[in-house]
Structure 1
Amino acid sequence: MTNDDEPSTLARRQLGRFLRDSREISGMSMDRAAKLAELSKTALQRIETGGVKKLRLRDIQALCEIYQVDAADGVRAVELAKQAQVNSWYTAFGGLYSDTTFNMYVGLSASARHLTAYHEIVLGLVQTADYARALISAFYRDDSPADIERRVELRLKRQTIVTRKTDPVRLDLVLHESALHRVIGGPKVMAAQLRQLAEISKLPNISLRIQPFAAGCARGIPHGPFVILDFGTDARGNPVEPPLVYFEGNGKADLYLEKDEDVRRYDEIASAIRGSSLDESRTRDLIRRVARSYEP
C-alpha cells in the first residue's frame, strides 16, 4: 500500500447497486426512502451511485431495515460498507461476496458494455451446460446434485448478456490453445463445446481468437487469466464508471485492480496477446479441426 492509496470505489458501487435494487424491489420511491432514513434525497442518490466516500454504517443499516432485506444480506451490506473504507492498491472480495446476491463479478459484468478477456479454459460466458457441469462438479465436490444444477443454471443465465438480441455486451475473448486440448468432461463434451465456440464466435458482438502455443508469452511474461471490464460512456462521452481488471480467486478471494495505470497496463497486455493470436477465421478453422479430433 502506498501513501496515495484511496479507499476503493468498487465496494461503494456494489453496495449502491444492492441498495438501489432493494429499494426498487420494495416499491419505495427515493423521496420516501430518504425521508424514512433521515437522509436528503441527494445523499441517498449519492449512496446508490457509489459517490459517498465516508459511508455511515447506521445509514446502511437503516436502509436495509426500511427495505426489509434478508437479515444475512443486511449483514453483508454493512460489511461491504466497511470494506469501502479500506485503503489498498487492489480490492479483494471473497466469502461474504461469493453468494448470488453479492457476487461482485456477476453484477459488474452485467453492467459492463465491453469485456476483454484472456483465459486458459473456456470462459464461463460461452460454456455449454455439460462443460460447465463438469467444471462445477469437480470444484464443488461436496455439493448435492441439485446444488450443482442450480449453479449450472445460474451460469447459463448469465450468458444472456452476450447472446441477447437487444444491446448485448461486447466480448473480445482470447483463449490460449491449451483450452482446446485440456479435456473437461470427456471427448463428447469437448466436441460439443468447441462446436458451440465456433458458432458463437460468429455473433457480431463477439470476437474470439486463439493464442497458439507457438506464440510464447506476450510481452515476455507469463500472463494468467484476466478480464477487463469497461462500462461505456454517457451522453457527454464521460465514463459511466471507471474500468476494472478482474482476476478470479479460484477458491480464494477474487481480486480487482482499479487504478488507471493498472488498467492501462492490462489493456496493453491484452493488445499484445491479440497481436500474437490467430485471426478470427483461422481461429474458427482450428477450433473445428480440434472438435473433429474428439469425435469418434
Structure 2
Amino acid sequence: MTEGNSTLARRRLGRKLRGGRLGAGLTLQQSGGVIRVGASSVHRLERGLVSGVDDGQVAALCRIYEFDAEQTRDVLALVEEGEGVEWWGEYEDVMSAEFRTYVGLEGAAREIRSYEADLMPGLLHTPAYARVLLETLYPDEDAATIDRRVRLRMRRQELLEIPDGPGFQAVVRESAIRMTVGGPEVMAEQCERLVEASFRPNIDIRVLPFSRGLPMREGGGPFVLLDFGSDGSGELVETPLVYIESFRGEQYLTEPDVVRKHREVYHTLLRNTLGPESSREMLRRAGAEFESRMDESPREA
C-alpha cells in the first residue's frame, strides 16, 4: 500500500456514509443512535478521522441508509483498506487525529503548494529551526517529546526525496527569511537549506519581497493547497483541498468556491514573487548576513 492510501480510503468511506445519511434524511444523532455512539463520533467517521473502524457498525449504517449489496461491499472494502498501517503510526502520541489525516493527505498528493508569511516551509525545515519552533509551540513538553516531534517533521520531508514524490512549490514572504528564529546560526543554516532544495527538479522556492507589498485583495495567513491528480479513468483521486494550521487547530477546506479563491490568491502571490534564481540569490544574501552576525548574540528564541 502506498503512503496515504489508508487516509484516502477513510475519507472516501466518510463521504459515502455522509451521502447515505443525507440521502436517508437522518441527522448525525439519529445515525449515532443506531450504532450506539454520539453524534460527534459519526461526524468524525464521516470526516475520515477514525481509525480502527468497526465494520459491524458500518454494516448497520449501510442497512439504515438502504445501500444495496454492491454499495455495501464497496463501503466495507473501504473499511478494510482504511486499516493500512502507515509510517506515522509510531508518532501518534504527538499527533492529533486531524494532523494524522493531513500527513496522510500530504503523502498522497501529487502537487503541494504552500504560502508562508512569517516562517520557512515546514517540509524544508532544518532540525535546529524546527526545534526552536516546536519548543515555542509546546513550552511544557520535555526534551524527549520535542525530539520526537522534530523526528516526525524530518521524516515527513522524505516525501520530497522519493522518485515519484509530489511537486512542491512554496511562496515565502521576505519576512520569513529576515525574522530571526533561534539565532543567526540557525537562520544561516535554514537559508542554505532552501537554496540547496531549490535546485531539485520537483521543488520551486519563490520569495515574495517586501518591495511587492501585499498583492492580495484581502489579507490572510499561511495555507497549503493539495492536489491529488486523477486515476486511470480520469476521475479525481481526492478532492483538492486547502489546509490551514493555526494555534486554534487544523482546518480542511474542500468547498469548491473556497479552494478556487485560495488558488486565485496563491497565483496572485506567485505572479509577484522573484524568479527562481533571484529567489535563490536573496536567500543566499540573507544567509550570508546571518553568518556575519553569528558572534554578535547568543541563541535567540
Cα deviation, 1:200-254, whole Å, max 9, x if unaligned, reads: 011111111000111112233222101011111111222101000111022x221
**Which among 144, 147, 169 is matched to residue 145 of structure 2?**
147
In the TM superposition, 1:1-296 aligns within 5 A as: 12=46, 14-15=48-49, 18-19=51-52, 40-47=72-79, 98-99=95-96, 103-120=100-117, 121-164=119-162, 166-250=163-247, 252-296=248-292
Deviation at 1:37, TM superposition (A): 6.8
Contact 1:13 1:49 in 2 (8 A): no
Is the 1:176–1:211 Cα contact (8 Å) retained in structure 2? yes
Alpha-carbon RMSD across the aligned residues, in angstroms, is 3.3
Partner deviation per Cα, 1:114-162 (whole Å, 9 max, x = no partner):
1111002111100000000010011111111111101000110001111
| CA separation of 1:144 and 1:102: change in aligned 2, threshold 3 A | same
Q: AA paired with 2:126? A: T
Superposed CA offset, 1:46-78 (max 9, x none) = 55689xxxxxxxxxxxxx9xx9xxxxx9xxxxx
Distance in 2 between residues matched to 1:15 and 1:249, nearest whole Å: 19
Deviation (angstroms), 1:110: 1.3
- The one-letter code of the counterpart of 2:138 is Y
**Corresponding residue SS for 1:115:** strand
Deviation of 1:9 after TM superposition, in Å, equals 9.9
Distance 1:13 1:97 in 2: 20
Q: Work out the number of aligned pairs and report it.
A: 235
Secondary structure at the aligned position of 1:218 is classed as: coil
Shift of residue 42, structure 1, vs aligned partner: 2.6
Sequence identity, in percent?
A: 35
Q: What letter matches 1:139 in structure 2?
A: L
Structure 2 stretches lacking a partner, 5+ long: 1-21, 23-27, 29-41, 63-71, 293-301
Q: Look up the equivalent residue of 1:149 and give its one-letter code.
A: D
State the Cα deviation string for residues 153-184 of structure 1 (Å, max 9, x = none). 011000111122x2111111100000111111
Q: Give the distance between the partners of 2:177 and 2:77, measured in 1 at CA.
A: 47
Distance 1:207 1:191 in 2: 20
Instruction: Give the AA of the match of 2:164.
Output: D
TM-score (norm 2): 0.70
| Residue type of the alignment partner of 2:224 | V
**For residues 279 and 9 of structure 1, what CA distance do their matches in structure 2 show?**
44
Are the counterparts in 1 of residues 49 and 101 from structure 2 also a CA contact under 8 Å?
no
How far off is 1:14 after superposition?
2.8
Corresponding position of 1:81: none
Deviations 1:262-281 (A, max 9, x none): 11111111100000100101
**Aligned equivalents of 1:9 and 1:214: distance in 2?**
46
